[in-house]
């Protein structure tokens, strides 16, 4: 694996752990608050949203960890939502156009993108260590823009 194919898993040395990507900032609210049905949403860490945040209205269920630039957890669709079927292939890697590097994400995040391509308004670049609008990314090996 080359330097420009780093993944969060490599950074943390926890390849078997879910990789927290996707999600977004308050600037890129990916869904109307009225759709934030707790039955529809789950979190990458399987825990309820941080009570110090705005619960299901928060842009992410956990605050950003300054060590990684990522939120401690991200919203994903619940298992019952994912079970309704995917409308896109399940893809776990995308390229950030600005830096040209690949970021890989965990299974639930990849499945959430496959079920609901516009679920996330912003997503994480492991190299830039920040979130950017999904339109800045394309799926690895394709010219297909993330979120389209």
Question: Which residue ranges make up the site for Zn ion (CB under 5 A)?
Answer: 96, 99, 125, 127-128
Residue 102 φ then ψ, to 5°: -95, 140
Cβ 100 to Zn ion, closest distance in Å? Answer: 8
SS3 110: helix
Name the minimum Å distance from CB 61 to Zn ion.
Answer: 24
Q: Is the CB of 53 or the CB of 135 nearer to Zn ion?
A: 135
Contacts of 112 (CB under 8 A, 6+ apart): 22, 76, 77, 82, 119, 120
Q: How far is CA 102 from the centre of its chain?
A: 14
Question: Which CB atom, from 7 or from 43, has the smaller least distance to Zn ion?
Answer: 7
Largest CA distance in the chain: 43
* Cβ atoms 115, 77 nearer than 8 A: yes
Residue 112 or 123: which CB sits closer to Zn ion?
123
Q: State the minimum distance, in angstroms, from the CB of residue 98 to Zn ion.
A: 5
Cβ of residue 82: shortest distance to Zn ion, in angstroms?
27
Our CB check for Zn ion shows the closer of 98 and 118 to be 98
């Amino acid at each position: 694996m080359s330097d420009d194919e780093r993944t969060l898993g490599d950074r943390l040395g926890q390849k078997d752990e879910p990789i927290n990507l996707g999600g977004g900032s308050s600037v890129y609210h990916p869904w109307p608050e009225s759709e934030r049905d707790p039955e529809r949403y789950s979190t990458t860490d399987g825990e309820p949203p941080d009570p110090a945040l705005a619960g299901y209205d928060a842009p992410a269920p956990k605050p950003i960890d300054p060590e990684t630039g990522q939120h401690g957890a991200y919203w994903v669709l619940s298992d019952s939502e994912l079970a309704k079927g995917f409308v896109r292939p399940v893809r776990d890697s995308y390229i950030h156009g600005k830096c040209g590097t690949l970021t890989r994400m965990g299974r639930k995040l990849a499945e959430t993108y496959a079920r609901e391509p516009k679920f996330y308004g912003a997503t994480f670049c492991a190299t830039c260590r920040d979130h950017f609008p999904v339109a800045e990314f394309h799926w690895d090996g394709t010219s297909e823009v993330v979120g389209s």
